[in-house]
Amino acid sequence: MIIDVRLRPPFKGFKQQFSPAGNKAFSARFGLTSPESVQQISEELMLREMDEAGITCALATGRNGHFRYNVPNDDLVEMTAHYGGRILGAAGLNCADVPQAMADVEKYVINGPLKAVSMEPGACPVPRYADDRRLYPIYEMCQAHRIPVILMLGGRAGPDVSYSNPEIISRIAADFPNARFMVSHGGWPWVQAVLGVCFWQENIWLCPDMYLMNNSGVQDYVAAASTWLQDRFMFGSAYPLMPIGESLAIFKSLFKESVLPKLLYKNAAELFNITIS
């Protein structure tokens, strides 16, 4: 049983992230091969790749207010039905329009089928840091309703590396101690710093996804996830930027068997309230 918490299928608005040449070049930077499902932008081949890897279900994050492209939350609702619940959704929030973002939380998560919210404030046309006080009403709402908040803090989370600084999530997690935050891209390249934050602040989960693949900082992630962080660390393939099968094989090779059930599905099932029969 495996839950991939960062996967985007070739469905409606998500197709904008499928660029055969670009995806191939990106995977190659990590020494990996872009799969045929990406090269052909094939839904059928992606599902086959998931089957071959043993992926039980996946979580796709929406995008709204992003400077490059957007995936409407209505697409995610339709996606959930289209895949029969095998690919679940997190509502993408427009961090430049807080009232609309809160309305989307109400519509798509509290009263809808989506499992979480996803925020990329550094990717707004006018970038914001995730601890910008203007965003606090969203966090307060999510805390009140026990809705997980996925924050992209790592990689290219903004115009420069400061938008991924772990001081940001440390401040937010302290101000909302009963909220639950997942840091996608794992705070990379601030690996030791974000792990230091997670050591003391237990309402933060990490998913390094592609930055765990043949990359610097891997052993620090592994040391933490093998011991004190094993209940708050998750697998994400970052498909279509990375291949599902190869990414999963690398992930499994890094950890001892005793912690893999938590990292591969138990932690994600608990955080996102996913029931798997």
Q: Name the average pLDDT for the chain.
A: 97
- Residue 86: pLDDT over 90: yes
Q: What is the pLDDT of residues 191-215, one digit of tens each?
A: 999 999 999 999 999 999 999 999 9
Distance between the two ends of the chain, CA-based, in angstroms?
10
Band of pLDDT at residue 107, cut at 50, 70 and 90: very high
Domains contained in the chain, CATH given: 3-271 (3.20.20.140)
Q: What is the pLDDT of residues 109-167, one digit of tens each?
A: 999 999 999 999 999 999 999 999 999 999 999 999 999 999 999 998 999 999 999 99
Residue % of the chain over a pLDDT of 70 = 100
- Residue 219: pLDDT over 70: yes
CA–CA distance, 271 with 273 (Å, rounded to integer): 6
What was the pLDDT predicted at 275?
Answer: 87
What was the pLDDT predicted at 68?
Answer: 84
Which pair of tokens denotes residue 190? Answer: 């601030």
- Residue 79: pLDDT over 90: yes
* 57-82 mean pLDDT: 94
Band of pLDDT at residue 277, cut at 50, 70 and 90: low
